[in-house]
Structure 1
Amino acid sequence: MTQKARWFISLAATVVFPFALSACGDEVTEEHITQVVEEKILVVADVSELPDCSLENQGKQVLVRGEASPRICVDGKWIASFAETQDDLKCTAEYLPDGSGLKIICNGDSIGVVLNGTIGPQGVQGEQGIQGEQGLQGEKGDKGDQGEQGLQGEKGDKGDQGEQGLQGEKGDKGDQGEQGIQGEKGDQGEQGAQGEKGDKGDTGEGCSVEQNGVLITITCGNQNAVVNIIGVCSGSNENVVKEYENAYYVCHSNMWVDASVLEYDTYGKICFENGAIVGGVVDTINKYVCDADTFRVADEKEVALSKGCVSYTENDVVRKQISDEQDSVYVCKNGVWSGSLGKHVVYGTLLDKRDQKTYKTVVIGEQIWMAENLNYADSISYPGMQKRNWCYYNNCEKYGRHYNWAAAIDSAGTFSTNGKYSGYERLYALIYPVRGICPEGWHLPDSTEWKTLYSAMGFSPYAMQAVGYEKWPDALDTYGFSALPASVRDNSTGFDYYFRDMAIFWSSTQKDFYSAYVLYLDKNSANAAGIGNKRSGYSVRCLKNSL
């Protein structure tokens, strides 16, 4: 018999079968499809727990956790899969040009060909019956003794002519013994019964191969097997999603089934923040909400507000700008955003003629404040700000810029001499209000003006904080000041990871040569008389000059 070439594929629905790469119409050997065995696949933790690959386990499969497909017992060895990991496995099936069979291709390589069959194996011939024994032959009778011959008389002495001796008498002839009696012939043994003829094997009508999506059904005679060409589905890869020819399948209860849009469009996404809105993996237009560490489809209002209303965001407030002059407030209640609740904030606008940027403004008490952080960066018009301003996560459009104190007060005197430093005095000789880096008609607030703002907000840090940020979970932004958790930039280490949940704003009031007063704001407190290092980078909010 020629050397056998074999290949194995893991099957869906725990069906396994051995193949050989020969036509079913050749000599009937064990290389042909001889059985389709339905059995549960044993799962072991690692290769050390594999059972013995004994004769009784020949052809059985065992799945080792972490491997893409089961190992199979062949000739005393557990043969590993042709794919090391689930992600490595990608198989396709192609019909041969002449229609005689199917070629299986995995990861770009052909692993074998299944050809159409012709006839099943012949049934076994019954054994021939045993021949009966021959009867024994009877014994032959003894033969009679022969009679003795009579003695010859003695011859007379020669002398004178003697007389001749008398002839002795001839002895009697012995009687002939009787012939023995012939024994009876033994009975003829009966002919052994003819063994029954074995049943004739089922006649194969040709091995048919049918592919439906990822399933390949191979039928030979009355036996069939199903191959899933995207790999094995077992408990170790429950909920895994696979793509095959632009269709998506998910492993559920040891069976590959069609994946829903939610399953394949969020597969691989990690739910880091409850209430966060994420785009789809396959279709980014689709939006989903992180809810209780899993995903669901976002509704229109959640998409519009960029935040999901879930149990973790209950009572959260989101302020949505509905025009240049007005905001609307939404509150999360029982899984639904309810809008137009609370106080509306009327915004104004400020055009910075230096770079044509526009900022929102808001009236709080008797003060008019910028409702956004300053983002001025013209180092040509203002050379003094070179290497003295920075962007948080390179997103100055959202967070504004961070300036050191010298840049914030315009110590070079580019826009005003009120903050100019001569280089001789121990402290800066400031003239209030200090315009600093602010647009014309606005100035950098001093520490007293910051205290006035904080008092007008009821000394509530939450009233100052912009809503919609994880770092400020209790933010209310009651008056529209909309402070952002823009962090701070340390002069030595840069933007500090540990200050991500806070904002610090410069004042024009200096404490000493090295430090100045700031508004310090974190998620649970605020301090309008905080102290900051003049060389560090903080945010700037400008206050409109009094009339």
Structure 2
Amino acid sequence: MKNSRYHFTLVVLLCTFFLGCQKSPAPSPPVVPPVIPPAKLSIVTTDSVTNITYNTAAVYSNITNDGGTPITARGICWSTITNPTTGDKKTLDGSGVGVYESNITELHDTTSYYVRSYSTNSVGTAYGTQTSFTTGIIPNILSQWMLSNLDVVTYQNGDSIPKVTDTTAWKNLTTGAWCYYNNDSTHGALYGKLYNWYAVNDPRGLAPKGWHIPTKQEWSNVVLYLGGDMVAGGKLKTTDLWLIPNTGATNETGFNGRPAGYRTESGYFTFLEQFTFWWTAKEHDSTTAVERSLGYNYPDSYMYFYDKRDGMSVRCVRN
């Protein structure tokens, strides 16, 4: 029994010794966070300016580095003064890196512009190298227009356009017709013929071969070319034939706009020497269509819509 106790004690001592001699587990190495470089401004280049017209241009740019943070805005900025910024006129062309295209509109003709690409991230806005370009000359839009009122009696295919002088017959028309002002052929030499809109819109073609009836937009382009509604009329009017004061009349375009008056939907004639009205190809609704007019007492050129039975002058544009 004594020996048994001795052996047990010895075993306990040995176990204690060996357990005490075991090494403690090595501590885990500290977690070191990755080093993230600070964000910087992006890198953007202004590559090229192309497709330059008298009032538009296209610019290609390239963001080659986002600076370590997402691009939130990009585009170009431009001015007639050097080093334009986003405080000047600019485009907004999405986000992200890579090549992108920007389009500039509403420029002035024969004018030099400075342009820079820009890109914005969380750090700020970076700019590309400045470049410049010069817009072209406005094309003479009116060189494609007839310079006198239409004076034909047949459609393009050779079919006759009825001449209608009777007031009641004119009022009841739903097909094409023409007349002279006041049914007097002596007015034809100065003012051409008056046509209702049914003739203008006839599928056989009122305009001679190689020409077409101007669209609403083509008339608007002329007015814009001449400086806008408030002044274009004077530039289109002749300096004679109109009642005084013939406000703003210069005829500097050579368009020879004369006061041809018109025939109402009821068949009566009015406004000779006071106003002129030209049909467009644009239908407004089932009973009216769009016209462009000039007046003796204002320099404007108005656009409105009138009854399709009205007799008005017509100008044509080359195809």
Taking structure 2 as the reference length, the TM-score comes to: 0.46
Write 1 or 2 for the structure with the bigger share of helix: 2
Q: Give the structure, 1 or 2, with the largest relative contact order (CA under 8 Å, sep 6 or more).
A: 2
Between Structure 1 and Structure 2, whose CA radius of gyration is higher?
A: 1
